[in-house]
Structure 1
Amino acid sequence: MKNKALKSLLLASCLISSAGLAHAADVTLNVESWRNDDLAIWQTKIIPAFEAKNPGIKITFSPTAPTEYNASLNAKLDAGSAGDIITCRPFDASLDLFNKKHLVDLTALPGMENFSPVAKAAWSTDDSKSTFCVPMASVIHGFIYNKDAFDKLGIKIPTTTDEFYAALDKIKADGTYIPLAMGTKDLWEAATMGYQNIGPNYWKGEEGRDALMAGKQKLTDADWVEPYKQLAKWKPYLGDGFEAQTYSDSQNLFTLGRAAIYPAGSWEIALFTSQAQFKMGAFPPPVQKAGDTCYISDHPDIGVGLNTKSAHPEEAKKFLSWVASSEFADIYANSLPGFFSLNSTPVKMSDPLAQEFVSWRGKCKSTVRSTYQILSRGTPNLENETWVESANVINGTDTPDAAAKKLQTGLDSWFKPAK
């Protein structure tokens, strides 16, 4: 009996020890992020999908309020208490973290081959030799329109600037709708949904942006001034008092059915779909003439990197390689319509408006906002100055040429292109 009891005790001890070893083998990776609106998607879709294929690796998603994220993350990184996975803002904020050796070089990470140089630009060094975050999603610019209004007025989707203004004239003449829902009070709206939306068709996307950073083009060149000349033409088509109209005012004008066209970012899709009581469609920025190559602002918004002080770098790399996969791309893009995968493998969107936006990648060349890489590191800040001048041009307080001259003079005061 004693031997039996001893054997039972030893067996139980072994089982307990084995359970303890199995438990100890589980690794938990903590994800830092500012996207607190994503919490449910991570908990119900992203984390279960990854953990099902990677037993022994657990993921904890720990978001911080967007306005507090940068300061909180920097404090944690300096203290050595940040999570394993760092959600990366685009361009300079994340580049600064890499330069401070807070982020691991992921250039050779399996899965990085799934992204184009443009997709990786927001999380790469200036010379493009090192990439330090896996691209997750971008937002695309264009125009969202009220289909019911277009049908009522017999307007076809405009593809050229002449067709665009003909449509605006028809909407204005009818008087039922404000042709364009955009204001200038918040400044950034005029630049982001105005200048950066239509501009790539004039400066030829990456070609012009690269030339500007290399000092081979200036903001006073015709290709950079012309978008401002177009914005100046928008003024008669905006609502009364547009100078005092905020971003949220513009959103409300459109979703309430009072405006026919909304110069948009794709991040509006989920909100507009939930609020608008009419059918919507979207079209890319019209080209100057039929047959021209079209360009879209396909702007990187979010990526993920690896904390250099992570206690579990190999497990973290497994997760990051999965984020670089088409499986993750499909889950994320369809959970957040309007935030599009940067993966080279196309994702079929379940939301028709989101699918329309993302389809433009197949016929237009993608670029990023011209002011975001390198050109806004000094004072005056080109991004912020572009906000001001875009609003001034639409308001009529600056001519397109005067606005361009102010921007170039400011840039010249601190930016010296590498020779």
Structure 2
Amino acid sequence: MTNTGRLTLGLCLLAALGLGQAGAQKATLTIESWRNDDLKIWRDSIIPAFEKSHPDIHVVFSPTAPTEYNAVVEAKLKGGTAGDIIACRPFDASLALYKAKYLTSLNTLSGMKNFSTVARAAWSTDDGKTTFCVPTAAVIHGFLYNKAAFKEAGVTVPKTEKEFLAALDKLKANGKYAPLVMGTKDQWESATMGYQNIGPTLWGGEKGRTGLLKGTAQYNKGGFLQAFEALGRWKAYLPSGYQALAYPDAQNMFAQGRGAVYPAGSWDIATFRTMNPKLDLGAFAPYTFAAGQKCVIDDHPDIGFGLNATGKNQAAARTFLNWMAGDEFAKLYANALPGFYPLANVSYKVNDPVAQQFLDWRKTCGASFRSSYQLLSRNANPNNENDLWNASSQLLNGKMTPKQAADFVQKNLASWYAPQKGK
């Protein structure tokens, strides 16, 4: 064989070897997310667990700052440079990406059977027929309380509104603790941690929420009006100067042990564990209002993950998303982020006892999510979510009666939302 022939054969062998090595390379998945505070959790816990059982797939978690995420990920999707898996905000932001064909249907993903209709709603089309993100985690509404304050005032954990108000009266008489720690300066807490916390039990959870969507229920009637009336009864128990109290101020007050009850979302559990590890936290579910009434919790969707429709590693990405729908991921995620709960109907436990209390309410209470989040806040001005913030805070500030607050929200919704027009 001539030298030229040997050289040609050698190059061919090297090329063949290179192709063989390339074929054996791992698929690399990139995850886009706004949760930059989760980077260590993904890198140290979640990704190693997945790669251990899927050695042919390598995963990279690539977060963007929360305030920049929507614009950045949309630009990447338009430019064809986005990762294989896209973190999905609930409702309209992700629905817009699906409508633009950047996200694809996940209806055929086997793990989707682990999610209820309520869990899928935040990442489904308006008709509910197509789900385009794996529902990953939710936050749950309820109440945190200072066990030391309860013990000192001789207060027991309330289950009904009557017991709740009686407990606050005792705590107020004790004088050492602010009975109910919440401010109205930032407005959103009045609605999110107040109205949307106790309201679902009064309006019947999903029955009431979907009634608003269909136009068969209104904010100024029935349970939705009753929720404003119930919220108004909190006014007498808020801290001195609550009108100037911002969300961080309320957190500090409660963390320092100066308050008794904190209307909460489970997202605050980890915050208080960090701010004051010695604070003896307890939790109780949204109270009921009548004998035999079943509690309903806001089990509110927070984050999902979808498949980039033009991603290069479709099969590997679907494998990862399917894994996210199972119990191994649920256990890892729930314990890495206490207070953020996987939405899959799979078995897992949470190590943090208070976070587990919130989770246990799924077994005893009905579930819904915030009334304004699906369809009703698509209008820029008036906007249903912003109106609820405004009305709830003005109610607590004594600037509106419950009926005025309810009429204000209803009138603005009926001004643009077709099913509510004329109601």
Give deviations 1:191-238, integer Å, cap 9, x for gaps. Answer: 100011010011011010011100011111121011111111111101
Answer with 73-82 or 32-41: which moved more. 73-82
Q: What is residue 136 of structure 1 aligned with on the other side?
A: 136
1:390 paired to 2:403: no
Secondary structure of the structure 2 residue equivalent to 1:199? helix
1:188 paired to 2:194: no
Secondary structure of the structure 1 residue equivalent to 2:110? coil
Distance 2:336 2:104 in 1: 28
Residue type of the partner of 2:68? E
Residue type of the partner of 1:331? L
Q: 2:411 aligns with which of 397, 409, 412?
A: 409
| Aligned 8 A contact 2:146 2:282 in 1 | yes
Q: What is residue 291 of structure 1 aligned with on the other side?
A: 292
Distance 1:278 1:414 in 2: 47
1:399 paired to 2:396: no
Question: What displacement does 1:31 show?
Answer: 0.4
Answer with 272-281 or 141-150: which moved more. 272-281
Secondary structure of the structure 1 residue equivalent to 2:312? coil
Q: How many residues align?
A: 412
Secondary structure of the structure 2 residue equivalent to 1:111? helix
| Aligned 8 A contact 2:172 2:237 in 1 | yes
Q: What is residue 382 of structure 2 aligned with on the other side?
A: 380
1:223 paired to 2:223: yes
Aligned residues: percent identity?
53
Q: What is residue 207 of structure 2 aligned with on the other side?
A: 207
Secondary structure of the structure 1 residue equivalent to 2:267? helix
Question: What displacement does 1:290 show?
Answer: 3.5
Q: What is residue 280 of structure 2 aligned with on the other side?
A: 279
Q: What is residue 340 of structure 1 aligned with on the other side?
A: 341
Q: What is residue 321 of structure 2 aligned with on the other side?
A: 320
* Root-mean-square deviation (Å): 1.9
Residue type of the partner of 1:358? L
The list of structure 1 runs, each at least 4 consecutive aligned residues, that deviate by more than 4 angstroms after superposition, is 13-16
* TM-score, with structure 2 as normaliser: 0.94
* TM-score, with structure 1 as normaliser: 0.95
Q: What is residue 242 of structure 1 aligned with on the other side?
A: 242
Give deviations 1:258-304, integer Å, cap 9, x for gaps. Answer: 00000000001111112232211000111002421110000000000
Distance 2:310 2:15 in 1: 34
| Aligned 8 A contact 1:298 1:366 in 2 | yes
Distance 1:16 1:24 in 2: 13
Secondary structure of the structure 1 residue equivalent to 2:40? helix
1:25 paired to 2:49: no
Unaligned runs of 5+ in 2: 1-5
In structure 2, the CA distance between the partners of 1:399 and 1:45, relative to structure 1 (3 Å rule), is same
Which aligned pairs between 1:24-173 and structure 2 lie closer than 5 A? 25-173=25-173
Give deviations 1:152-209, integer Å, cap 9, x for gaps. Answer: 2221100000000000000000101000110000000111000110100110110100
Secondary structure of the structure 2 residue equivalent to 1:286? coil
Residue type of the partner of 1:371? S
